[in-house]
Amino acid sequence: MVNNFIFSNEHLIILLLFSLFIYICPKLTNHLLPYSYIIEKIICGLIILEIVFEQVSLLSMGGYSVSTSLPIDICRFTSYICIAILFFKQYQLFNVFFSWSIVCTIGEIIFFETIPYRFPNILYFYSIFSKCLILYANIYLIDVRKFKVSNSAIKDNLLMCLTYFPFIFLLNKLTSSHYPYIFSSESIISIILFTILTSLMYIPVFISNNDNNKYKLKSKNK
């Protein structure tokens, strides 16, 4: 099925609105630290509700299929990582969540998934909302909770890729399912591209951390 939505007028409007969201997103985290416990529960609750509403909508519209509709795509998996961090306090997963949330949200907004309903269908808005929520959670963790990736981030990222993608690959092959790997694609190339992109994202962070450490050392020496 050809995805006629990509780079259509409707898609360009969504890209513009998403760009505006990215611009204002850091401002939406101001002065939230005293309310972090409540905010984190709200984010987890919204993620769960959005997934449930999407599944219910697919069922009600008669478009549900276990070979395409289960909430196990990579954006959903990133949402589960977010819940693990915020609700179950698995803070070490931020190493993975940092790059996956950015690449997944921006990549999937640009290469929009094929939805077998005409725009504007509610499933489009569920998809967009889920990606905005993931990106907001990342900015919240960085700006409010001051999370930072550790030196093992690239290794953790590769291990998670080696966990998730073989699972989806085997699921597709063994059950004839059609779950995309990333960027709404079922091509192996998309896996390689995603792994490279997410790994490269840590390089500027490591450089910035090294520069900050050097500055602190100079300050102490003075």
pLDDT at 1: 47
- For residue 184, pLDDT over 80 is answered with yes
**Domain membership flag for residue 4:** no
DSSP helix/strand/coil, 182: strand
**Domain membership flag for residue 90:** yes
**Domain membership flag for residue 112:** yes
Buried b (16+ CB within 10 A) or exposed e, 48-85: eebbeebeebbeeeeeeeeeebebebbbbbbbebbbbb
Check if the beta carbon of residue 148 is closer than 8 Å to that of residue 218.
no
pLDDT at 21: 95
User: Tens digit of pLDDT for each residue in 123-171?
Assistant: 999 999 999 999 999 999 999 999 999 999 999 999 999 999 999 999 9
- For residue 212, pLDDT over 70 is answered with no
Backbone angles phi, psi at 118, to 5 degrees: -75, 145
pTM above 0.85, yes or no: yes
pLDDT at 165: 97
**Domain membership flag for residue 3:** no
- For residue 36, pLDDT over 90 is answered with yes
**Domain membership flag for residue 150:** yes
Tally of domains in the chain? 1
Range of the domain at 69: 9-221
**Domain membership flag for residue 211:** yes
**Domain membership flag for residue 1:** no
**Domain membership flag for residue 110:** yes
Sign of CA dihedral 205, 195, 66, 105: positive
